[in-house]
Amino acid sequence: MKDVKVCVLRIEGTNCEDEMADAFSMVGAVPEKVHLKQMERNAPAGLGRSLEEYDILAFPGGFSAGDYVRAGAIFAARIKSLMGPQLKSFVESGKPVLGVCNGFQILVELGLLPALEGTMSETPTAALYTNDSGRFECRPTVLRNDDNGKCLFVSEIPRKSLVMFPSAHAEGKLMSNDPDFVNKLEDNGQIVFRYVNPDGSDAEYPWNPNGSPSDIAGICNPAGNVLGMMPHPERVMTRFTRPDWTRNPGSVEGDGMMIFRSVMNSLR
Amino acid sequence: MAVIEIRIELKKGVADPEGKNTKKALEALGFEGVGEVKTVKVYDIEVEGTGEEAVSEGEEMCKKLLANPVIQNFKVTVR
Amino acid sequence: MVKDLMTRRDKPYELFDVSLREASDEDLAKISGDMALSLSLDEMKTIKEYFVKEGREPTDIELQSLGQAWSEHCCYKSSKAILKEFVFGIGRDDVLSRGDAGVMVFDEDHGYALRIESHNHPSAVEPYGGAATGIGGILRDVVCMGAQPIALADPLCFGYPDRKGDLPPGTKHPRYLMSGVVSGIRDYGNKVGIPTITGGMFFDERYTGNCLVNVACLGIVKRADLAKNYAGGPGEVMVLIGGRTGRDGIHGVNFASRDLTETSDEDSRGAVQLGDPITKEPVMHACFEVNAKHLITGMKDLGGGGLSCVVGEMALDAGCGADVDLEKVPLKESGLAPWEIWVSESQERMMCTCRPENLEKVLAVFDSWDVLATPVAMTTGTRRTRIFWHGEQIFDMDQHFLTTGPLYHRPYVAPQVSSMENERSPRLPDDRTVILKLLSDPNVASKEWAIRQYDHEVRAATVLHPMVGEMNKTGPGDASVLRPVPSSRKGLAAAIGCNPWFTALDPYRGGMSSVDEAWRNVVAVGAMPNALTDCLNFGNPEKPERLGELREAVRGIGDFAKALNIPIPSGNVSLYNEAPGGASILPTPMMLCCGIIDDISKAVTADFKGPGNRIYVIGETKEERGGSLLYRVFGGKQGVVPSVDADNVRELTGKMLRAMDMRLISSCHDCSDGGIAVAVAEMCISGQTGAVLDLRKAADMSPRKVLYSESNTRWIAEVSEENAEEFEKIMGGSAHNIGKTGGNSMNIRDSGVIIEVEDMRKAWNDPIWKIMGGQS
């Protein structure tokens, strides 16, 4: 079978690219960590890359460009000016795009999410804003899969079942100036993950660590091939990185595997 | 050449946790009677053009990078 | 400026010749003072003699360089003799390097690096920047071993954050310092993407005037890629990497080598550097690449003393000299005098050495990462450092004289040691009140406010987290455990240990106890302690009492480490930790212990796993309450500080690890502050499970003494009924069954006291949140 090539795109300050690449390797993909500079026309010999070479695009977490200006804004602006049209056609061709944490912030700043009016908006139509607590929050979060069959990344996760992906961010509250925003996402089937309490009931802080409306943790575009989420599936590829694994015997596999296996299955 | 000042403010109704925490820190340092603290970002940017031209370039910068219209307002002035 | 003694050369740049050879003692003191050299009169006299022998006057840059190299911070002049006598050279053949960071064998292919350092004085003046740059510096120490940083650990000491009343002049409020320091660690650590996995917070009034910020870093390196911190020989190029050089951080080492004063705040802002984690990140990547490609011969970070220290040390350790073209150093701003460039401590800079034929390749790698890299010097066969400014020689000194520095055997007095003779036990309320009060003491209370702001999971290798138990209802852990090599199940454990109160009352036992605590934290998770690194935070060594404390504590650490045969391949000393006015901090020997666990799936956490299991205390509980939390909180005086016995430590460690390897232990927690009472309470809190205790079997003492004694080398273990027989067989007589898990409360049969787990959780969980703001 043909290799599934993954572009794990980074710039200065991206810092979760190793575990993101490892996660794709674990499900049999061939990830490559690519610096945005390598996408430039005048990239050093042998290092130049172009987006069309890849089957999947992933934006890992971190603090791209220091999160100066706004989380993800500089990375997004540079991508837009360098390869906006290529990115747009990558998405429109149906290839999967994943953004985790800072990656989600980048997708929103790029206008690829929520994408209520077309693939990629000129300016951002949403924001991932400072957590209600005003603090960086590194803690376990339980998510419910609320996808209704659209999103490429969750086919392996039974509908309405719960997974534990940890969160670690200071800006994860999804905001829009459209008051009807949540309903629109709901109607479009774009809400993929919601924070819940461990018993599955509506999340309260700290189970919703940022105050996101309707407990939204992750959304996809209307086509279902672009997923952005604040929590980190790549951090729980085995059970041994779950914070409570010593309390709960179980299989060695971690919840995060399902995200990566789902997207691989979608390409077969 | 001109220097434009770009002032990025949170929109009305957008909570300002950084401002709130700064207020607490000021109180911890012994400042009494501190009212609301707002965080504002100001950029001073040297540009080629002057006057109107400089301002509209600044506005373009805000739209492309410096402000997210969902949460932020911006104001561009020539200094 | 010392006008008469300094003559400016007629040059377009700022350079002074200093009239030293004819200077009187008074002049010498004035020169040292006016140039902010922080050198003593005797040191100035030695320097004078040197230049008399050289037959010329020194330049300002030469004197500034000496001021850096001979600072306490750079040459350990007060502590080196003591360190040599007691802790250096615990040799074991798995020590791979004692360079800028220590490196130990991890497995056949990998080594792990460890190092701890203080950033106390900068943090007392500017907590956010001081702490952040502390992280930056410690990361570079690990990077320049060729190691990928994998974890940070930050033990901190402050005055009480809820302190009321006037502060000593020139001092900032502990709450403000704590908030700034935690923010600095958070922003730098999180942004650079290295998890902060453990640490500690110590609160005492005696830290109010001089807080302590210690930062530690662990790394992992392929043994084939282990880097050296010095050149390969003469004729090599020295390449300066990373940030530009500016006026920030001038005289930082001198600042770190004297007491804080009332005006430190105003005077020393220039000595606090500004960090930039986003520059650091590509610098790290680029350094790994040139190292892995074996294009360089050595690398070293620019820390205290900046270029002045790094150039000399990289050359001297290779038996070389160096010729420096100082004007080539890239600057942040124009107009810096040569001496300022030479001693600036601007952040995010490293130096590497390479053979000239590899220079182009090295520069190409840095260019590909957008990292500034500039050849600034060549190593020579002369053993002298010479500096040129556009071809004119402005500096020419013997390396040995410059770098070695003075070595002092300062006078000390042996400290008074606390004993049972004058012991005064406090009047205690009932056990319920006592236990809730101990749990809410800030030294015990939950540090979740800080821990959750640190990303402790980035890199996806954190196996045991700093907080353990039911998710979002956690309690304190012992050691944290990482899985540094994803393809292997081998784990690396790390924990902090320190008891400054023991050390104040009995420095020798305090030093030993600090090692014991770090050691037993590592054992508590199922790992075998493998190496230590220490940060010795003490007062002014020119005061004999303070030096006596340092000496005794170091003797304790050394004696114990030798008896346990555990190496200390790196370490750091921070002296002059005194508040404005001269009040000393508690003597604080901060220990970091690393351990290895062969199979992370056998790691054990401290949360009770369920009802109906037996609770054991392992180790002997003695009447040792001097310096205990109980005495501190309720006003006890004196008393015996807990002792240690290395044979006993080894024996119990072996038994515990065997039982854990056989998966006989469900949970395990180290027994320290607050004794059995607090340890069991914490296990209840994290496990959401109660316990019934019957302490008569633990020791032949009154139950109250058993409950709060802080004897060393003890653990609490939870063992299921089905494993109990096997467990007891392994432990011999060392495990004492003191009760059973179950119910919703901690029930102390001996006194009839019952405390609900929820009440204990509240007492433990809330205090720091309340002070700092927010909630769990």
Q: Which region holds residue C335: left if phi is over 0, alpha if psi is between -120 and 50, else beta? A: left
Give chain C's domain count.
1
Compute the distance between CA of residue A96 and CA of residue C157 in angstroms, rounded to an integer: 48
Q: Whole-angstrom Cα distance, residue C723 to residue C706?
A: 26
Tokens 């004119």 found at: C392
How far CA C94 is from CA of C103, C223, C531, in Å, comes to 9, 12, 10
Partner residue opposite A134 with nearest CB, options B11, B17, B70: B17
- Do the Cβ atoms of A63 and C486 come within 8 Å? no
A124/B69 CB distance under 8 A: yes
Average pLDDT on A229-237 reads: 98
The answer to whether the beta carbons of residues C518 and C497 sit under 8 Å apart is yes
Selection from C452, C369, C455, C366 nearest residue C188 by Cα: C455
Backbone angles phi, psi at C717, to 5 degrees: -130, 145
Please list every residue in chain B whose beta carbon sits closer than 8 Å to the beta carbon of residue A134. 17-18, 20-21
Task: Please enumerate residues of A whose Cβ is less than 8 A from a Cβ of B.
Answer: 69-70, 73-74, 77, 80, 109, 123-127, 129-135, 175-177
Q: What is the pLDDT of residue C273?
A: 53
The two structure tokens encoding residue C173: 């409020």
How high is the pLDDT of residue C269? 45
Q: Which residue has the higher pLDDT, B13 or A83?
A: A83
C562 Cβ contact list (under 8 Å, min separation 6)? C90
Question: Searching chain C, which residue's CA lies closest to the CA of residue B28?
Answer: C176
Quick check: is C12 in a domain? yes
How many CB atoms are closer than 10 A to CB C550?
A: 28
pLDDT of residue C258: 64
Chain centre distance of CA C190: 19
Helix (H, G, I), strand (E, B) or coil at C612: coil
Q: What's the gap in Å between the CA of A208 and the closest CA on chain C?
A: 11
Read off the pLDDT of each residue in A157-177 and give the average, rounded to a whole number.
Answer: 96
Task: Of C555, C471, C453, give the one whose Cα is nearest residue C508.
Answer: C555
CB-based contact C368 A140, cutoff 8 Å: no
- pLDDT at site C2: 47
Q: Rounded to a whole number, what is the distance in Å from the CA of B46 to chain C's nearest CA?
A: 18
pLDDT at C257: 61
CA–CA separation, A208 and A194 (whole Å): 9
pLDDT at position A33? 96
Contact map slice: A 193-222 vs C, CB within 8 A:
198, 205-207
Q: Show residues of chain C in contact with B24, CB under 8 Å.
A: 773
Question: Nearest 5°: phi and psi at C321?
Answer: -115, -170
- d(C-alpha C86, C-alpha C550), whole Å: 11
CB contact under 8 A, C176 and B25: yes
C524, part of any domain: no
Q: Which residues of B touch C175 (CB under 8 A)?
A: 28
The answer to whether residues A193 and A144 touch, using CB atoms and an 8 Å cutoff, is yes
Q: pTM of the prediction? A: 0.94
End-to-end CA distance of chain C: 55
Chain A interface includes C277 (CB < 8 A): yes
Walking along chain C (776 residues) 10 residues at a time, the average pLDDT comes out as 76 93 93 91 95 95 94 91 90 93 98 96 89 92 96 98 89 93 95 96 96 98 97 97 85 64 56 62 90 96 90 93 97 90 90 98 91 96 95 94 91 93 94 98 97 97 97 96 96 98 98 98 98 97 96 98 97 92 92 98 98 98 97 96 98 98 98 97 98 92 95 98 98 96 96 96 96 76
Chain B hits for A125, Cβ within 8 Å? 70
Torsion of CA C79, C85, C91, C96, to 10 degrees: 20
C452 and A12 in contact by Cβ < 8 A?
A: no
Query: Can you tell me which residue has the tokens 């056990």?
Result: C431
Judged by CB atoms closer than 8 Å, whether chains meet at B68 and A132 is answered as no
Question: Is C172 in contact with B29 (Cβ distance < 8 A)?
Answer: yes
Please check whether residue C50 lies inside any domain of the structure. yes
Compute φ and ψ for C391, nearest 5 degrees.
90, -20
Q: How confident is the model at residue A229 (pLDDT cuts 50, 70, 90)?
A: very high
**Strands B2-10, C321-325: pairing kind:** unpaired
For residue C770, CA distances in Å to A196, B48, C449, C585 come to 26, 52, 10, 26
Chain B residue whose CA is closest to A179: B70
Distance of CA B43 to the CA centre of its chain: 7
Domains defined along chain B, listed by start: 2-78 (3.30.1280.10)
- B77 touching chain A per CB within 8 A: no
CATH topology of domain A5-266: Rossmann fold (3.40.50)
Q: What is the pLDDT of residue C280?
A: 73
C359-368 vs C277-292: helix crossing angle, rounded to 10: 140
- The helix or strand, by DSSP H or E, that contains position A86, with its residue range, turns out to be helix A73-92
Is the ipTM here above 0.85?
A: yes
CA distance A206 to C167: 36
Range of the domain at C64: 6-73
Spatial separation of the C-alpha atoms in residues C737 and C615, rounded to whole Å: 6
Q: What pLDDT is recorded for position C1? A: 45
Instruction: Measure the CA–CA gap between B17 and C476, rounded to whole angstroms.
Output: 28
pLDDT score of C571: 94
B vs C: CB pairs below 8 A? 12
Please check whether residue A208 is in contact with residue A167, taking contact to mean a CB–CB distance below 8 angstroms: no
Q: What does the alpha-carbon distance between residue C285 and residue A223 come to, in Å, rounded to a whole number?
A: 37
| Residue C59 belongs to domain with CATH number | 1.10.8.750
What is the H or E stretch that residue C300 is in? strand C298-301
